[in-house]
């Protein structure tokens, strides 16, 4: 495992982050095995959200943390206030309390507002998050699917009012470039301007869909976009440029003795030391391969070639 630093968090944070959308009390044996494997291989950061599996993901993680007695070893990312109509300070307050109850903990280490609501002045969100920070419910905070402009506005407000600002952000970031967001009101940071902004700010970037929803896994055929299994992946990720990226990832993978999916993940992880890749494995083997991708170092020229630059 490799680790990075997030401002406001005292411990190092694993660069591969276990996403919890596959985790649920309804599949507890699998979920616990996945969490145990992640921990055994040096993973210490888990991402979850109030909305995942109607609370089942948080409940499962809370049960696992309590049964293993390892709460202080884990960097827990919580999210709330999605979709956009629920993105209001008063909803954050109620959902955070419920999330903490489900997770069986007094705090989450990093709290991210799951969406942004531009109709609400950014200062109201900053004031709300600082209130929960002072109460000890969160130790650092930021936004998921927030534009760089709104993050700058949030941190300018925090600075001018003597408050804590955002130290983490979670947009999509991946080798493939989407046709449209997988979910409404989502933000991607794959464009050049966003990448430059994150590089200048040095802000921790938690990249969701870091493997483009399995696009590089080989499970999906370009000519089978209308099958139930491929329909959503095709809607978001099927385009000519991405299939060129896929062929280049396969070529590089053959040369390096790895998989195209590992090349795609290494592309994200090699962006900078402040990028953390969220993965949502559906098997132990998928998680193993994601962790092994940390050992694959891509040069700047290889990354530009993969991205058709």
CATH number for the domain harbouring residue 94: 3.20.20.100
Neighbour-count burial of 54, counting CB atoms closer than 10 A to its CB (0-12 exposed, 13-18 middle, 19+ buried): exposed
Residues in the chain predicted with pLDDT less than 70, given as ranges, are none
Show contacts of 93-96: CB within 8 Å, 24+ apart: 93/128, 93/132, 95/50, 96/50, 96/132, 96/137, 96/138
CA distance 108 to 77: 6
Say if residues 18 and 38 touch (Cβ distance below 8 Å).
yes
pLDDT of residue 218: 86
CA distance 279 to 209: 7
The answer as to whether 16 is a domain residue is yes
Residue whose pair of structure tokens reads 């994150």 in the numeric block? 198
The answer as to whether 63 is a domain residue is yes
CA 137, 203, 264 angle in degrees (round to 5)?
A: 110
Say if residues 226 and 280 touch (Cβ distance below 8 Å).
no
Report strand pairing: 3-4 vs 168-170.
Answer: unpaired
The answer as to whether 209 is a domain residue is no
φ/ψ of 155, rounded to 5, equals -75, -30
Cα 251 from chain centre? 27
Beta bridge partners of 46: 18, 76
Give the structural domain span for 24.
Answer: 3-170
Q: What is the pLDDT of residues 91-119, one digit of tens each?
A: 999 999 999 999 999 999 999 999 999 99
CA distances to 49, 58, 247 from 111, in Å:
9, 14, 37
Q: What is the DSSP string of 232-253?
A: HHHHHH-SHHHHHHHHHHHHHH
| CA neighbor of 217 nearest in space, from 208, 206, 230, 227 | 230
The answer as to whether 235 is a domain residue is no
CA dihedral sign of residues 120, 166, 38, 255:
positive
Question: Which element (helix H / strand E) includes 78?
Answer: strand 75-80
Helix count (H) and strand count (E) of the chain?
11, 10
Domain count, the chain: 1
The answer as to whether 96 is a domain residue is yes
pLDDT of residue 223: 82
Q: pTM for the complete prediction? A: 0.96
pLDDT of residue 227: 82
The answer as to whether 216 is a domain residue is no
The answer as to whether 84 is a domain residue is yes
pLDDT of residue 273: 83
The answer as to whether 240 is a domain residue is no
pLDDT of residue 229: 78
């Amino acid at each position: 495992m490799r680790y990075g630093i997030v401002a406001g968090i005292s411990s190092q944070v694993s660069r591969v982050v276990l996403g919890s959308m596959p985790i649920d009390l309804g599949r507890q044996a699998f979920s616990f095995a996945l969490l145990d494997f992640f921990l055994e291989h040096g993973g210490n950061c888990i991402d979850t959200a109030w909305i995942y599996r109607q609370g089942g993901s948080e409940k499962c993680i809370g049960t696992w943390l309590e049964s293993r007695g390892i709460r202080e070893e884990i960097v827990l990312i919580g999210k709330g206030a999605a979709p956009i109509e629920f993105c209001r300070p008063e909803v954050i307050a109620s959902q955070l309390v419920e999330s903490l109850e489900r997770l069986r903990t007094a705090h989450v280490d990093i709290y991210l507002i799951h969406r942004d609501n531009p109709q609400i002045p950014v200062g109201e969100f900053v004031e709300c998050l600082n209130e929960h920070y002072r109460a000890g419910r969160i130790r650092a905070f930021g936004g998921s699917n927030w534009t760089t402009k709104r993050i700058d506005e949030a941190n300018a407000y925090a600075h001018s009012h003597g408050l804590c600002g955002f130290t983490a952000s979670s947009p999509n970031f991946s080798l493939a470039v989407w046709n449209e967001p997988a979910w409404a009101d989502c933000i991607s940071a794959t464009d050049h301007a966003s990448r430059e902004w994150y590089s200048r700010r040095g802000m921790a970037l938690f990249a969701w869909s870091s493997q483009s929803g399995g696009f590089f896994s080989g499970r999906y055929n370009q000519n089978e976009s209308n099958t139930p299994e491929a329909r959503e992946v095709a809607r978001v990720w099927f385009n000519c440029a991405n299939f060129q990226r896929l062929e280049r990832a396969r070529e590089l993978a053959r040369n390096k003795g790895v998989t195209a999916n590992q090349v795609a993940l290494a592309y994200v992880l090699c962006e900078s030391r402040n990028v953390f890749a969220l993965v949502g494995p559906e098997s132990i083997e998928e998680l193993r391969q994601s962790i092994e991708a940390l050992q694959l170092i891509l040069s700047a020229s290889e990354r530009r070639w993969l991205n058709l630059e």
